[in-house]
Structure 1
């Protein structure tokens, strides 16, 4: 087993984690460093070990970045770009103001990441614009969690409009972000064609209160198979019977109100 390169100020518990990551026999898949309070030197040591690991799938760094939070993301994103198995990163509760280091590898799809958790930070409108740019190009992310940040209505609008071009994201969390009518209108526009988003957390935005039920309803219809309405003539009659049997009452009403001719099927 290769030992991690010695670095001054690296505590034993982190050295032990790094040794495990570099041990080919450990096959560690989930690394939980929740509230461990890593400084930049400690993150570099962790990243050195991650570069020699081919099995890790999830890293939990919730409330773990102690100093120079954004600077600490730079070596982590270099790992993300090259790692063959990393699928999920939890970066919640880290007082992050921006995540520019994340944008380039995600935008260019130079990563295997599927889930990104950034809730309960201090992300602002500029960061939302960057993440919107990511969503326009990324074809791998399925979960983006942004609850309880400060992206605002302009940032929310940018992310909502980006969903017109995204067909892979399944879960989007934007609860408690000072969102308003611009975000709502943009999301309604995107959901006319986006049928892949199946979970949208957009409540606890006071200026969005009236729009939340309908937005939630449309996304719920995506989960129920709304895309089939665009292929209704290609779906056999017998299959529609099976589909309707699985729908809840409000979804059944939605399907039939959108295409009344399906009643005959």
Structure 2
């Protein structure tokens, strides 16, 4: 009998490496009637850590019993792990300022069935995209931000994020620097798109910085948000060619497509539980 979608799960884990881990995980699933559909693992010899992602079908046990059994199994191995229903779309909040290309791309991909998301809200410090949000039937929250009102604005943003149960927050060209406190609250579940190939050209106006240096490649970087500006673990990057005839405006126009593609990849991989944190780096099981 073919398992239904709601009986398919994704297990992610990381732990100190040791012999027999793959055998132990597959044995656990076999004993509970699980059928492995997809599996990937990685040994980081530099850190001595083992990473694994397994998609499996199981009709003999429900989510609660699998979770309880796995928690007891994982403890002796010192595992950091997650167990997710594969069919469940990830509850997501999008944040944007006045550059709408990444927002528009994500909304279109989601509407087209290319991203397994449940987009619960759009938050912006400007009103520019309230009509775009309405066209996709997504609630739009306009929360202005000034230096004086930033604490209150972030408190309201967090209230929306938590009330919607957001598992993912995407800064789709949201151009306000988040406070350290907010970064801590969103650790591991907020993705930013930076319009340069990090670690080059951090901070503001990276296309102008790139133009002044006469680079031959421009890029975009999707990374997890941390309190250190543009320093979070990198999920995905890509580049586009540049030459001496390009103006700053040319670079910015060409870079928009790269930014949209890079962010969409990162969001897709995160929503499919393919990204595992490895210190200041990531392991991405594509």
TM-score where L is the length of structure 2: 0.24
Q: Which has the higher contact order (CA 8 A, sep 6+)?
A: 2
Q: Judging by fraction of residues, say which structure has more helix.
A: 1
Larger Rg computed on CA atoms: 1
Q: Judging by fraction of residues, say which structure has more strand.
A: 2
